[in-house]
Amino acid sequence: MADATTRSLGFHSLTGEREAVLSLEGSLPDWLSGSLIRNGPGAFELGGASVDHWFDGLALLRRFTIDGAADAVAYRDRFLRSDTYSRARQGSFSGGFATGDGGLLSRLWGLLVADPYDNANVIVDRVGEEYLAMTETPRRVRVDPATLDTLGHAQYDGPAPAGQLACAHVSRDPDGTVVNVETAFGRQSEYHVFEAPAPDARRHVATVPVDEPAYLHDFAATESYVVLVEFPFVVDPLDIFRPGKGGFVDWFRWEPDRGTRVRVIARDSGEEVARPTAPPVFGFHHANAYERDGELVLDVETVPDATAVADLDLSALRAGALDALGGRIDRYRVDPDAGTVDVERLYDGATALPTVSPAVEGRRHRYVYAQHADQPIDDWPREVVKFDVRRRQAETFRTDADAYLSEPVFVPRPDGEAEDDGVVLTVSLDPATEQSALLALDAATLDRLARAPLPDALPFDFHGRWFPELDRATVAAGGGWP
Ligand SMILES: [Fe+2]
């Protein structure tokens, strides 16, 4: 049971930025070489102004560069110099997700069209040769991966269809092709599916109409299909022209009678080939999806309804209202020919931020990793779970100090054969010492291999990705190794 002080830890605001070679307890595998870049809110108050919602904190990029052969880890963090950040420095700090003043002008039009929101605090991912900080608008922010300096915006403006909302998460084919989905508001609103060889290049895959667009944080792409799971949390497209207050999520409504519509689009023809309906739930993340014997298998993290979104209000989180972190792993099995969907609960623990090995993205997977919380949930997760979907068995890891743990990121050993041959990286936050640390776990056993402590406490973050190409030499050459 956490007291109020420890609950507020992790939702605090940083002012400075840090850079250090970290001390290391234990030993890292010699093969582990590259960088973990994580993204998440780093400040909720600035210049006397503040935001209300966790998702509206200013993006803080955090990079751990690992040279396993030398047992060396360097850390650097930088606030993203977005337009949102600049305005916050000048005393005008209003979020775009769920915070914001009302006014006579349309709030949605302003956020999505006139001056698209750019506080890209969800993830840093690679598109072509570029590293982009991303959130749910198509206005991505380019980042130098060595220095974490902000390089400017990247928003597609070519002839292919584009929208005003984007999935924060891209999908990636085994050959590296990036796929994403944007929502375009209009008299007839549409979802546009596209492949992106680079931030400024786009191959149009499909456009499907939608009367009331659903909140799409993530989606699934397999070899033959793109699948949009429309949870019944939807927006009236005319709201984009109406005055009001709040961030864009405040315009969405929970409409359980719609059910969850699973929209299956064939990538070769661009046609929507099936649209079965499943019971109403809400969710942010897909763990993975793949095709097997003509069937589509989607492992999705769900919560009972979209109150999760409002529950991630900062004041609630700081008070310990963390039920929204209690996701379940559900398996959606879709038959595109028959137009049917079956839903089965795979894991009933309380999970958040599920991930799989990058080696199995879009292919059949055996292991899902996630944050894991005790139930009832009154505190931030203190465990990482490794769930074996074949045996339906869960193993968990927690630290001796019972520290909070971030989203786990699996790094496969090069040339490793078993799916869990590699390490799991997670960031801990010890409430007793108020100190964060990078932890490396043996993914096969969940034994701790190494711990690299930071000088102080980082606020909780959202997502990280591992970039093997950003090794120590590359980062040092770019001026990013202290
Ligand atoms: Fe996400």
CA of 353 to the centre of ligand 1 (A): 7
CA of 337 to the centre of ligand 1 (A): 30
CA of 168 to the centre of ligand 1 (A): 6
Q: Report the alpha-carbon distance of residue 255 to residue 246 in Å, rounded.
A: 20
3-state secondary structure 421-455: CEEEEEEEEECCCCEEEEEEEECCCCCEEEEEECC
98-107, 238-247, 278-287, 306-315: segment of lowest average pLDDT:
98-107
How large a percentage of the chain has pLDDT more than 70?
Answer: 93
Q: Which residue has the tokens 């070769």?
A: 268
Residue positions counted in the chain: 482
CA of 217 to the centre of ligand 1 (A): 6
Q: What backbone torsions phi and psi does residue 241 show, to the nearest 5 degrees?
A: -100, 0
Q: What is the dihedral of CA 50, 454, 466, 461, to 10 degrees?
A: -20
CB 80 within 8 A of CB 211: no
CA of 462 to the centre of ligand 1 (A): 7
pTM assigned to the model: 0.95
Note the pLDDT of residue 423: 98
CA of 26 to the centre of ligand 1 (A): 31
CA of 473 to the centre of ligand 1 (A): 30
CA of 5 to the centre of ligand 1 (A): 27
- Whole-number mean pLDDT of the chain? 91
CA of 463 to the centre of ligand 1 (A): 7
CA of 352 to the centre of ligand 1 (A): 10
CB 220 within 8 A of CB 264: no
CA of 424 to the centre of ligand 1 (A): 18
In CATH terms, the superfamily for domain 4-477 is: YVTN repeat-like/Quinoprotein amine dehydrogenase (2.130.10.10)
CA of 23 to the centre of ligand 1 (A): 30
**Among candidate residues 198, 176, 148, the one with its CA nearest the CA of residue 475:** 148
CA of 284 to the centre of ligand 1 (A): 6
CA of 411 to the centre of ligand 1 (A): 19
Return the SS3 of 86: helix
CA of 122 to the centre of ligand 1 (A): 6
CA of 14 to the centre of ligand 1 (A): 22
Q: Report the alpha-carbon distance of residue 95 to residue 246 in Å, rounded.
A: 8
CA of 354 to the centre of ligand 1 (A): 10
Q: Report the alpha-carbon distance of residue 446 to residue 369 in Å, rounded.
A: 11
Note the pLDDT of residue 107: 64
CA of 338 to the centre of ligand 1 (A): 31
What pLDDT digit, counting tens, does each position of 202-213 carry?
999 999 999 999
Question: Would you give the DSSP letter of residue 27?
Answer: -
CB 143 within 8 A of CB 124: yes
Q: Which residue has the tokens 């390490």?
A: 423
CA of 1 to the centre of ligand 1 (A): 27
What pLDDT digit, counting tens, does each position of 340-350 carry?
999 999 999 99
- Average pLDDT, integer, range 353-360: 96
Q: Where are the domains of the chain?
A: 4-477
* Structure token digits, residue 46: 């600035």
* Structure token digits, residue 13: 């605001």
Note the pLDDT of residue 103: 45
CA of 170 to the centre of ligand 1 (A): 10
What pLDDT digit, counting tens, does each position of 28-83 carry?
999 999 999 999 999 998 877 788 788 889 999 999 999 999 999 999 999 999 99
Note the pLDDT of residue 102: 45
CA of 246 to the centre of ligand 1 (A): 21
Q: Cα 232 vs. chain centroid, distance in angstroms? A: 20
63-72, 81-90, 166-175, 455-464: segment of lowest average pLDDT:
81-90
Strands 58-67 and 201-209, bridge-based pairing: unpaired
What pLDDT digit, counting tens, does each position of 402-450 carry?
999 999 999 999 999 999 999 999 999 999 999 999 999 999 999 999 9
Q: What is the per-residue burial (b if ≥16 Cβ within 10 Å, else e) of 452-469? A: bbbeebbbbbbbbbbbee
- According to DSSP, the residues that pair with 347 across neighbouring strands are 329
CB 289 within 8 A of CB 314: no
CA of 256 to the centre of ligand 1 (A): 22
- Average pLDDT, integer, range 169-175: 92
CA of 229 to the centre of ligand 1 (A): 15
Q: Report the alpha-carbon distance of residue 353 to residue 62 in Å, rounded.
A: 18
CB atoms within 10 A of CB 115: 14
What pLDDT digit, counting tens, does each position of 97-149 carry?
555 554 445 566 777 777 788 999 999 999 999 999 999 999 999 999 999 99
CA of 169 to the centre of ligand 1 (A): 6
CA of 470 to the centre of ligand 1 (A): 23
CA of 286 to the centre of ligand 1 (A): 9
- For CA atoms 30, 405, 215, 287, the dihedral sign is positive
Q: Report the alpha-carbon distance of residue 323 to residue 271 in Å, rounded.
A: 38
CA of 472 to the centre of ligand 1 (A): 27
CA of 107 to the centre of ligand 1 (A): 23
CA of 288 to the centre of ligand 1 (A): 13
- According to DSSP, the residues that pair with 165 across neighbouring strands are 183
CA of 55 to the centre of ligand 1 (A): 10
- For CA atoms 189, 193, 199, 201, the dihedral sign is negative
Rg (CA), the chain: 21
CA–CA–CA angle 284, 249, 298 (5° rounding): 20
CA of 121 to the centre of ligand 1 (A): 10
CB 41 within 8 A of CB 312: no
CB 102 within 8 A of CB 76: no
List of long-range contacts for 416-419, beta carbons under 8 Å, 24+ apart: 418/444, 419/357, 419/359, 419/360, 419/365, 419/366, 419/367
